[in-house]
Amino acid sequence: MSKRIERHLHEGEEVQYVERPSWLKYHKQLALSPLIIPLIDATMKKYTTHLVITNDRVLLRHGLVGDHSKAVRYNNMTTVKVHQSAMGAILNYGHIHIHTQTGGHADLVFQYIKNPIEVKKKIERRMK
């Protein structure tokens, strides 16, 4: 497991599942891939972005030099939604929106996640 993920964990917290965004999230940079800079940028972003499901919460973290994260505990979650276009269903990617008790817009949004319905099930199994 990445040290970047480990430093976000609380004592006794265990990682259950880790996912990275699909390459489709970086389709604009990949379209310009004959230029080396967009390809390097897309690769760095893909491998430094993680959706982490632990036994206590769901965490989104990204960043290579800087470190940005946001987490929601299961007991604060109200709904988990999957948005999957027709193309997303064919290519098996989608967006996951996690809503909490505060209401309003989604508190965590994971874009272009592979197997979004399976990931949603993993999160919902831990919500009580």
Burial code of 72-87, b = ≥16 C-beta within 10 A, e = fewer? bebeebeebebebeee
pLDDT of residue 104: 67
Query: What is the rounded radius of gyration, in angstroms, for the C-alpha atoms of the chain?
Result: 15
Task: Please give the span between the terminal C-alpha atoms of the chain, in angstroms, as a whole number.
Answer: 27
Rounded mean pLDDT for each run of 10 residues along the chain, 128 residues in total: 77 89 72 72 81 93 84 92 94 92 79 93 90
pLDDT of residue 1: 55
CATH 2.30.29 for domain 3-126, yes or no, is yes
Per-domain residue ranges for the chain?
A: 3-126
pLDDT of residue 29: 67
